[in-house]
Amino acid sequence: MSDKLRIIVIGGVAAGPKTAARARRMAPEAEITLIDRGTMLSYGSCGLPFYLDGTVKNLKDLVSTSYGVTRDEEYFLREKGINVLTRTEVQAINRDTKSIQVRNLDSGDTYTLPYDKLVLATGATPVIPPFEGLELKGVFRLYHPDDARAIAEKIDEIEEVVLVGGGFIGMELAGALNNRHLFVSVVEMQEQTLAGVLDPDLEAVLRNRLQAKGIEFYLKEKVLRFEGDERGNLREVITDKRTIETDACIIATGVRPNVELARAAGLTIGPTGAIAVNEYLQTSDPDIYAVGDCVENTHLISGRKIYLPLASTANRQGRVAGDNVTGHKSRFKGVLATAVLQVTDWNIGRTGLGEQEAKDLGYEVVSAITPAHDRTHFHPEHGLVILKVIMDRRSRKLLGVQAIGPGEVDKRIDVAATALNFGATIDDLADLDLGYAPPYSTSIDPLQHTANSLRNKLAGLARAITPLELKAKIDRGDDFLLLDVRTEREFQQKRFRGAKKVLSVSLDKLREHLFEIPRDQEIVLMCESGVRSYEALRTLEGAGFKNVGYLEGGFQTWPYGPSGLMS
């Protein structure tokens, strides 16, 4: 490329620096300028919750390379050959003259910069509802490292904290602050937390486990205002249902894409409210590209436009845009909405479509949920993972996977994302030749075990009853027998209290006690994880029992205890 190629990148957090760095490698002689309103460049905002819980000791680590060099203006100039203008605001884009008007926020000086290729990496802005009392001391948000620093300076004075918002950031924060032994309450307007990440069934299980760790949840509640004392300190969060006393509140109600500059320049804004781009990440102006949290994406399964701001997507897009602004041809095909996070010691992940999303698209959905160990049970580091696999009955195509648990979730989600990317069926997933050794997995990986459960359903070998369906039976007062096939010791330690009729017969004694089991009523089998109850179902059906089902996932996926039905 000619050394006259002028590339300007607006935005210095994630996608912008990645674009500029890739463009430099592809065009060593290009003139590349990176512009940002702030002073902190290329920082890892995903690490902010880990700074607050003490895992990350120094905020400087979030703006440093793996070899300890701070990513500042001098770093970009010396190591990348990229000119960085901080504390600089882009006021307008003139597409006719291919130039931008900028203003230095310190001096107030304005001037014009020409470009050949322009990249918008303007990111997103936190959504802060106009609550009364936002100015009170103790009301925070968490988006920028400065926000994390402000919280950290006060955290030793805090015993109770309210989080407004149960999405990605709100839940990560809930885990981080619970790790610091603070009393955490989450207020969420929707019926569940992590909407768009987990289906309601898995979310209910996760929330039940987090409640046992001391996190309180107030769902379907709207924050109205904050109230403080005479010194201006926050003391209460007022919702439409209650008053919550607290020392601090952190608002985590999501973000919206920064599209004002693009809109003013006449660029097309998509149906999601983010900037519309093609597969080359070009906007409606072929010399202007857009990447990261300001753009919308195409979902690879549904084909629909979605807005999903993630650092992983931003960095992948930066590489593609860096190629294309330097005359190469790289494509960004779309996303599977793959995401992982951690809340306390529970890992959470998803990829592809959720169950209701798939139904709305017209798929004939079949799903299965199975708990399993992430490693062999005799390995001392084994942990629980609960997997949900979603597929289409007609085509047998895999549609989505979700997972929760203290065990290793991300490995299963990444395998599922790979399978989805190549259009795998449930049989393809079950047939994958995955690695096995006790420190890494079970001999049949939990993901494949769940796939096999689905294949059993399709073959008519297993009538699964979900926890929600069993709860409905109990609430209606249906006449059925709950047959617990765990050991007598397990039965004595933890019993199911909700059903009218409960019988304990361990799996190893089932065949010799068949005469004790009534044949004239519905039988629901249960165990700890669903494995033994499935074995028992096959035994009973082989003995001629007709109306038999098993509780899918067993006690591990029952979200209505420990208080209440399970004790």
Residues labelled catalytic: 46
The rounded distance, in Å, linking the Cα atoms of 192 and 187 is 10
**Secondary structure E strands in 501-542:** 501-504, 522-526
Retrieve residue 385's tokens.
């993972």
Burial of residue 500 (CB within 10 Å: 0-12, 13-18, 19+) is exposed
Which amino acid would we find at residue 120? L
List the one residue out of 265, 371, 291, 250 whose CA is nearest residue 124: 291
The rounded distance, in Å, linking the Cα atoms of 394 and 403 is 24
Distance of CA 447 to the CA centre of its chain: 18
The rounded distance, in Å, linking the Cα atoms of 362 and 375 is 36
- Asked if residues 121 and 291 have their Cβ atoms less than 8 Å apart, the reply is yes
- Asked if residues 347 and 381 have their Cβ atoms less than 8 Å apart, the reply is no
- Asked if residues 416 and 481 have their Cβ atoms less than 8 Å apart, the reply is no
Which amino acid would we find at residue 359? K
The rounded distance, in Å, linking the Cα atoms of 291 and 539 is 57
Helix (H) or strand (E) holding 536: helix 531-542
Q: Return the exposure string of 412-423: e unless at least 16 CB atoms fall within 10 Å of the residue's CB, then b.
A: bbebbbebbbee
Residue 480 has φ and ψ, to the nearest 5°, of -150, 160
The rounded distance, in Å, linking the Cα atoms of 180 and 182 is 6
Alpha carbon separation from 559 to 202, 369, 466, 523 (Å, rounded): 9, 13, 11, 21
CA dihedral 393, 398, 400, 404 (to 10 degrees): 100
Q: Alpha-carbon Rg of the chain, whole angstroms?
A: 27
List Cβ neighbours of 449 (8 Å cut-off, separation of 6 or more): 370, 372, 387, 442
Residue 474 has φ and ψ, to the nearest 5°, of -65, -45
DSSP reduced 3-state for 156: helix
